[in-house]
Amino acid sequence: MITREGDSISLNHQLYKVKVYENPTQEELKGLTLKHTPATCKTVYGSINKISRNKDRKAQWTYIITPETHKDRYSGNLIDPEKAKLLIESQRRYIEKVGALVQIDGYLGIGRRAVPVRWLYTPEGSNIAAMQQILSFPRTAVETREQLAEGYRPDFHIVYTPGHRAEGMPGNQAIVVDLENYVTYIIGPDYFGESKKSALRMLNDYVYQRGGLVLHAGAKVVKAQGRLITMTIMGLSGTGKTTTTFSKQGDLTQPVQDDMVGFWPNGECSVTENGCFAKTFGLTRETEPAIYDGTTSPTGWIENAYFSPDGTLDFSKGRLTPEEVRFHKDILIQTGASPENVEAYLNHKIKYENVVDANDIPRDGWDFVLWTQNGRSVFPLSAIKEAADLHNIPSVGSMGILNRDEGKEAAMPGILRFVTPEQAAGYFMLGETSKTSAAGKARGKTRSPFTQPFFPRPHGLQAQRFSEIAKTVRADMWLMNTGYIGGDQKDVEAGLALKVKIRHSSAMLEAMLAGAIGWTVDTDFGYQIVDVKAPENARLLAQVPDEILNPKLFYERRGRLAEYQAWVVKMKQEREAFLRKYNVAEGIIRAVLNRVS
């Protein structure tokens, strides 16, 4: 390990006089993690599992440095420059008190679109440094021999101090974004997603300024009717973006990325990361072999997976018994559980049923009785045998968005195809889904422009830029429901709803890529859905229920047609209001509402 004792590292106008662990190896990072990072354990696979205080990203505690008078130029929270300066100075003092930083140098992407980044972590964040190192491309993969011999010149910087409190800020945490200089200061969180998204948030702005658009999307190379194309799959967390990216269709499926790609004129696709950041809840080798094997490899890093005394992991753990809480007591308290509540549960003074609602959502202060579903893993793309050659990615030829519909009004078709770029732009802008475990306790419908909470400029710009690029691209554009029809999991168990299963999604995608679907126009919304009466769809119908392909049939057959009709009216009203809020072009709004003029 290269260590610079008593040295200093400079960042714009900031200077840190500390010892620097410069680009440690993965094994060295394991050693630093076990020594400095709290709430960690070794797994039976030889990897490390970290239980974090934060179980998700804190968008509400993320701030862009700019005066309030510039609010119309940005999409997120703002922080006054003077207040930000105090926080950044406080972080500097903490870093020098700790006396050390872990430095990771690497690139977002490869080739001509690659962007150099330097990440700096205090040692309690060594696990985050290791995970970030896996996702970044090393200098040797991007630079020439001459460039390697020169000094490293990063365009982006991230400074991360999980052990420092942002006093006076909500939650005593703050992610402070300096877009002018492309620096992000992360104070307080201990969740890896903040590191990953900080670089990608800045990349969103960087790519937009250069004529492209970053899509919150997985991507894979597939063969469509004899032609190799890149398929992008957009989706909010929990919609199945990673699962869909790594699922196989036809005789060729080669994963490219699982989270973000650059979309450029003429269908150029640029990559961002050299690995995968996957949800682990419910993970099995049978349903998601590529992700399971990567997660359970020695090269993987894991966050928030349930672990047993012998180091084995349970990716489906939910309710915790008092005995299981007793084993995890120290870590649960260390990561935020109330000691008094833990003792009450251990001593059987409080039962599980007393502190959760009908949906198994714990009351405030009792989250520890239910293991988080937002477990994550990071592993290198090299762990995926079928991964694509990232130096030779074909043009984008298929673009989709995932909508995990859930609840009594879950009526989105299993798959649909957009008939114009404007219609696609509208639905991509809506970023519609149902909230999942990654959103914490919140449930219900949500919309996020382009599923893109990381775009720092006004979100309406995304629709405008997408429309501009889409005119230069030859690509099918579609939406797939990865959730339910007519209810949720409890309704499925009661025979009152349908679940769109992974095998259904794969069958629908495979049929679409093969050009084997006979489409018909949905008269309410104007997009195309599978014609369940067409003979050419017989094979697909043998694999996917017709009520998933055309949910209106589900509601008709159960005497719930009035519910469906009310849903159509409600959705059009809500969608129009959402699009107008972001000043989306009138032609795009008309396409979404199925208005001719």
For the segment 9-18, what is each residue's pLDDT rounded down to a tens digit? 767 667 899 9
How far CA 489 is from CA of 131, 295, 480, 493, 498, in Å, comes to 33, 26, 18, 6, 8
pLDDT at 212 over 90: yes
Q: For residue 85, give the 3-state DSSP assignment.
A: helix
The answer to whether residue 47 sits within a structural domain is no
The answer to whether residue 402 sits within a structural domain is yes
pLDDT at 251 over 80: no
Mean pLDDT (whole number) for 164-169: 97
**Residues in Cβ contact with 191 at an 8 Å cutoff, skipping those fewer than 6 apart:** 52, 53, 54, 55, 56, 57, 58, 303
DSSP 323: H
The answer to whether residue 306 sits within a structural domain is no
Q: Please, what sign has the CA dihedral across residues 307, 311, 312, 315?
A: positive
How far CA 2 is from CA of 97, 118, 124, 384, 514, in Å, comes to 21, 16, 18, 30, 52
What integer pLDDT is reported at residue 438 of this predicted model? Answer: 42
Judge if 539 and 403 occupy the same domain: yes
Judge if 125 and 234 occupy the same domain: no
pLDDT at 55 over 90: yes
285-310 pLDDT tens trace: 998 999 999 999 999 999 999 999 99
The answer to whether residue 84 sits within a structural domain is yes
Judge if 111 and 20 occupy the same domain: yes
Q: How many domains does the chain have?
A: 2
Task: Show the domain range for 392.
Answer: 214-277+387-593
Judge if 148 and 185 occupy the same domain: yes
322-371 pLDDT tens trace: 999 999 999 999 999 999 999 999 999 999 999 999 888 999 999 999 99
Judge if 514 and 581 occupy the same domain: yes
Given pLDDT bands bounded at 50, 70 and 90, which one contains residue 167? very high
What integer pLDDT is reported at residue 597 of this predicted model? Answer: 60
The answer to whether residue 272 sits within a structural domain is yes
Judge if 232 and 174 occupy the same domain: no
What integer pLDDT is reported at residue 93 of this predicted model? Answer: 97
Mean pLDDT (whole number) for 471-493: 95
252-289 pLDDT tens trace: 889 999 999 999 999 999 999 999 999 999 999 998 99
What integer pLDDT is reported at residue 398 of this predicted model? Answer: 96
Compute CA 272 distance to the chain's CA centroid, rounded to the nearest angstrom: 13
Query: Which helix or strand (DSSP H or E) is residue 196 part of?
Result: helix 192-208
How far CA 572 is from CA of 73, 244, 526, in Å, comes to 28, 28, 12
Percent of the residues in the chain that have a pLDDT greater than 90, as a whole number: 88
pLDDT at 435 over 80: no
Q: For residue 456, give the 3-state DSSP assignment.
A: coil
What integer pLDDT is reported at residue 445 of this predicted model? Answer: 79
CB 138 within 8 A of CB 169: no
Alpha-carbon torsion, ordered 279, 282, 288, 289, to 10 deg: 100
DSSP 173: -
Judge if 143 and 263 occupy the same domain: no
Domain end call among 130, 158, 190: 190
What integer pLDDT is reported at residue 13 of this predicted model? Answer: 60
pLDDT at 437 over 70: no
Mean pLDDT (whole number) for 194-199: 97
Q: How far apart are CA 594 and CA 592, in angstroms?
A: 6
The answer to whether residue 49 sits within a structural domain is no
Q: Long-range pairs for 308-316 at CB < 8 Å and ≥24 separation? A: 310/44, 311/41, 311/42, 311/43, 311/44, 312/43, 312/44, 313/43, 313/44, 313/49, 313/280, 315/280, 315/281, 315/282, 315/283, 315/284, 315/375, 316/281, 316/282
Judge if 587 and 507 occupy the same domain: yes
Domain end call among 190, 222, 248: 190
CB 579 within 8 A of CB 588: yes
The answer to whether residue 351 sits within a structural domain is no
CATH number at residue 587: 3.90.228.20
What average pLDDT does the structure give for the chain?
94
Judge if 139 and 266 occupy the same domain: no
The model carries a pTM of 0.91
Judge if 27 and 136 occupy the same domain: yes
84-131 pLDDT tens trace: 999 999 999 999 999 999 999 999 999 999 999 999 999 999 999 999
What integer pLDDT is reported at residue 386 of this predicted model? Answer: 87
The answer to whether residue 44 sits within a structural domain is no
Given pLDDT bands bounded at 50, 70 and 90, which one contains residue 440? very low
CATH number at residue 141: 3.40.449.10
Judge if 409 and 529 occupy the same domain: yes
pLDDT at 78 over 80: yes
Judge if 421 and 554 occupy the same domain: yes
Going by C-alpha positions, the residue among 227, 232, 222 that lies closest to residue 254 is 222
What integer pLDDT is reported at residue 316 of this predicted model? Answer: 96
Domain end call among 157, 190, 223: 190
What integer pLDDT is reported at residue 2 of this predicted model? Answer: 56
